[in-house]
Amino acid sequence: MIKPVAPGGGDGRPAEANTPAATAPMDFIREIIARDLESGKHQGVATRFPPEPNGYLHIGHAKSICLNFGVAKEFGGTCNLRFDDTNPTKEDVEYVDSIIDSVHWLGFDWGDRLYYASDYFEQIYQYTVGLIRDGKAYVDELTAEQIREYRGTLTEPGKDSPWRNRPVDESLDLFARMRKGEFEDGTKVLRAKIDMASPNLNLRDPVIYRIRHATHHRTGDAWCLYPMYDYTHAISDAIEQITHSLCTLEFEDHRPLYDWTVDNLPVPSKPRQIEFARLNLTYTVMSKRKLLQLVQEGLVSGWDDPRMPTIVGLRRRGFTPESIREFAARIGVAKRENMVDVALLEDAVRDDLNRRAPRAMAVLRPLRVVIENYPEGQVEQIEIPANPEDPSMGNRAVPFSKVLYIEQDDFREVPPPKYFRLSPGREVRLRGTYFLKCERVVKDERGEIVELRCTYDPATRKGSSPEGRKVKATIHWVSAAHAIDAQVRLYDRLFTVPDPHDAEEGRDWKSYLNPGSLEVIEGCKVEPGLAKAGALEKFQFERLGYFCVDPDTAAGRLVFNRTVPLRDPWARIASR
Ligand code: ATP
Ligand code: MG
């Protein structure tokens, strides 16, 4: 069997430019392609990613992108980006632009092979005239409702439209006049003449052209007659000489129509359609229609809301293209529908950022600590590794002084059992530096803790622990005089149930939105090294998780998004 070439080989591009993941495992699609190359059925591989520009791309599309561009790359072939833009009323250049941007961001490139189905409208029209002439298509004048009635059901055959056997010349004439704009929307359609008794409803004379007096985002008002999606898709694939047309399982029943189309038109090639299972992720929705609804109804802040499963949302949340490609490689490609745990996606970004993200200290809910025996006005620069996973990243200097902030959570006046962090009389280590001991709690008139009075032990600096003294916890801190204020946005799952959908009792899928999916915390304190962090720069805030700078950050106002918390140690123990 011909094995795919190593990523990065083939066309001489650098490995990172166009590869899905370091190791793409063999799956049933790659096996089919390898066999087709070995048997000589094909000399090369040509795939395409065919979005309809009616929404932003989501993580499900990323799976398809990684597959299509991935196999092309591995087998030394090509992958086109093609917009299947056959529905003028729902499509927009805004979507075209965002899709182009997202595919590039994911790390894939189509060279000069950017295509639009609308560029083929004239060619498709000419093919169709030939089809009518061959007696394989006819103009039908039934209404949409009648067409539905005549179609029959899964158990009953359909019945012929009274127009099914009208003379070819009459259909040719009407089709030409449909193009000229002589008829209203919905008054006439063109149907393929296949088989009204077929057990497959898609073959019961499917509509292949409809009249739509609408302005198209690319062809403007040149057309008022638009070819249907299935028909256009097959022809576009054939025109581009796609060898393997990879699509999701819902198109399995459409495959006979795909084959009929390429078999009955004088197209330059006969691509093979292969279906794979679409990606479903827990605690989110993945249909563009539903995502659009969330945006339009203001239930999220936009397509790039960091809670959205869109590529732009994930990017803003702090995901890297590498982590998404790795996720796609880990879930693989199969033929059976399934639901993937969103935790797998989070694991992929954690693994990636663990290797690459510089560490920093940030205190989300500050509690003031005054070190009574620390010299007034003294500042020490504490050297802490920028990333313990990668010594080549060196150290960072973090200022230490008499007044610090620690997390409110890291102190308990009355510590519960197994709580080892700070409490009155107890000592902990401050990350990268001294032992700190809580001597006294200062409260306001309402009894709220406002400050801790502490002492430090100068002999304990730099991880040395004096004989006989151990501490059970290390906590992070930020020097109050040097800290920078930040807003931090914490995200939780967008929905409260793994598979939000309309329920039988009439419950709407949107009623499962998680009211706590966004928590905004003001007045966070971060170490001064972050002052100049730019949009989307990523960090691990020690002990808290991975964070990135939100594009809302403006001069003097830092905003961070939490991408994911650190791995929950309890979750790992529980799963063992
Ligand atoms: P909708 O979300 O409204 O069902 P769509 O996702 O099918 O629309 P397209 O623009 O037609 O939108 O999708 C482009 C390509 O991405 C298609 O080949 C489609 O099969 C694939 N794709 C879409 N959703 C997923 C998914 N969840 N998993 C894998 N591939 C997907
Ligand atoms: Mg689709």
CA of 11 to the centre of ligand 1 (A): 28
Instruction: Report yes or no on 253 lying in a domain.
Output: yes
Q: Tell me, what CATH number does 240's domain have?
A: 3.40.50.620
Pairwise CA distance, residues 79 & 49, whole Å:
7
Q: Is the same domain home to 112 and 241? A: yes
> Could you tell me if residue 30 is inside a domain?
yes
Q: Is 88 in the pocket of ligand 1 (CB under 6 A)?
A: no
Say how many domains are in the chain. 3
Specify if 310 maps to a domain: yes
In the block, which residue shows the tokens 């899709």?
A: 99
254 and 130, same structural domain?
A: no
If asked whether residues 155 and 110 sit together in one domain, one would say: no
**CA-based Rg of the chain, rounded to a whole angstrom?**
31
107 lines ligand 1 (CB under 6 A): no
According to the model, what pLDDT value does residue 193 have? 98
Ligand 1 contact via 52 beta carbon (within 6 Å) = yes
Nearest C-alpha to atom 3 of ligand 1 is from which residue?
A: 288
Is residue 76 domain-resident? yes
Cβ atoms 364, 485 nearer than 8 A:
no
Name the strands in the sheet holding 78-83, side by side, starting at the edge strand that comes first in the sequence: 46-49, 78-83, 114-116
- Which residue of 47, 48, 59, 64 sits with most ligand 1 atoms within 8 Å of its CB, as the best mutation to test the pocket? 64
- pLDDT tens-place values along the chain, 576 residues long: 455 544 433 333 334 434 444 456 789 999 999 999 999 999 999 999 999 999 999 999 999 999 999 999 999 999 999 999 999 999 999 999 999 999 999 999 999 999 999 999 999 999 999 999 999 999 999 999 999 999 999 999 999 999 999 999 999 999 999 999 999 999 999 999 999 999 999 999 999 999 999 999 999 999 999 999 999 999 999 999 999 999 999 999 999 999 999 999 999 999 999 999 999 999 999 999 999 999 999 999 999 999 999 999 999 999 999 999 999 999 999 999 889 999 999 999 999 999 999 999 999 999 999 999 999 999 999 999 999 999 999 999 999 999 999 999 999 999 999 999 999 999 999 999 999 999 999 999 999 999 999 999 999 987 666 667 889 999 999 999 999 999 999 999 999 999 999 887 889 999 999 999 999 999 999 999 999 999 999 999 999 999 999 999 987 799 999 999 998 544 544 433
- Residue 309 Cβ contacting ligand 1 at under 6 Å: no
Closest approach atom of ligand 1 to CA 289:
3
My answer on whether 205 and 328 are in the same domain is no
Residues 242 and 326 in one domain: yes
Q: State in Å: Cα 437 to ligand 2 middle.
A: 61
Report the nearest atom of ligand 1 relative to the CA of 287. 2
Q: Answer whether 89 contacts ligand 1 (Cβ < 6 A).
A: no
Residue 502 falls inside a structural domain: no
For ligand 1, is residue 206 a contact (CB within 6 Å)? no
Q: Which of 312, 329, 349 is the last residue of a domain?
A: 349
Residue 14's pLDDT is 38
| 497 domain residue, yes or no | no
Residue nearest to atom 27 of ligand 1 (CA): 60
63 with 132, same domain? no
From the alpha carbon of 246, which atom of ligand 1 is closest? 18
Nearest Cα residue to atom 29 of ligand 1? 278
Please check whether residue 1 lies inside any domain of the structure.
no
Task: Tell whether 235 and 220 lie within a shared domain.
Answer: no
50 lines ligand 1 (CB under 6 A): yes
Residue pair 140/201 in contact by the 8 Å Cβ criterion: no
Q: Is 560 a domain residue?
A: no
H or E segment and range at residue 328 = helix 321-331
Assess whether 184 and 102 both reside in one domain.
Answer: no
Ligand 1 neighbour 289 (Cβ under 6 A): yes
Residues 382 and 302 in one domain: no
- Mark whether 265 and 152 lie in a shared domain: no
Specify the residue with its C-alpha closest to ligand 1, atom 8.
288
Ligand 1 center–CA 151 separation, angstroms: 27
Q: What whole-number distance in Å separates Cα of residue 206 and Cα of residue 307?
A: 39
26 Cα–ligand 2 center, Å: 25
CATH of the domain at 184: 3.90.800.10
Domain that holds residue 126: 121-227
Q: Which ligand is nearest to the CA of 57?
A: 1
177 contacts 169 by C-beta, under 8 angstroms: no
230 lines ligand 1 (CB under 6 A): no
Spatial contact of 82 and 208, defined as CB atoms under 8 Å apart? no
Q: Residue 337's pLDDT is what?
A: 87
- Tell me, in angstroms, the distance from the centre of ligand 1 to residue 199's CA: 26
Give the end of a domain, one of 434, 461, 482.
Answer: 482
pLDDT score at 463: 60
Q: State in Å: Cα 52 to ligand 2 middle.
A: 7
Pick the last residue of a domain from 349, 370, 402: 349
Q: For ligand 1, is residue 358 a contact (CB within 6 Å)?
A: no
Tokens of 168: 């070819």
pLDDT of amino acid 556: 74
Strands (E), 236-339: 244-248, 272-276
247 in ligand 1 pocket by Cβ < 6 Å?
yes
403: which residues sit within 8 A by CB, 6+ positions away? Answer: 368, 369, 370, 371, 479, 480, 481
Q: Which residues are catalytic?
A: 52, 278, 288
Nearest CA to ligand 1 atom 23: 61
* Residues in Cβ contact with 229 at an 8 Å cutoff, skipping those fewer than 6 apart: 52, 84, 86, 87
pTM, full prediction: 0.92
Query: What are the tokens at 229?
Result: 């999606």
pLDDT of residue 9: 34
The Cα–Cα gap between 19 and 6 comes to: 10
Give the nearest ligand 1 atom to 250 CA: 20
Q: What is the H or E stretch that residue 131 is in?
A: helix 121-133
CA of 95 to the centre of ligand 2 (A): 14
DSSP secondary structure string, 395-443?
Answer: EEEEEE-SEEEEEGGGB-SSPPTT--SB-TT-EEEETTS-EEEEEEEEE
61 Cα: distance to centroid of ligand 1 (angstroms): 6
Residues 285 and 182 in one domain: no
Q: 399: domain CATH number?
A: 2.40.240.10
Q: Are residues 41 and 98 in the same domain?
A: yes
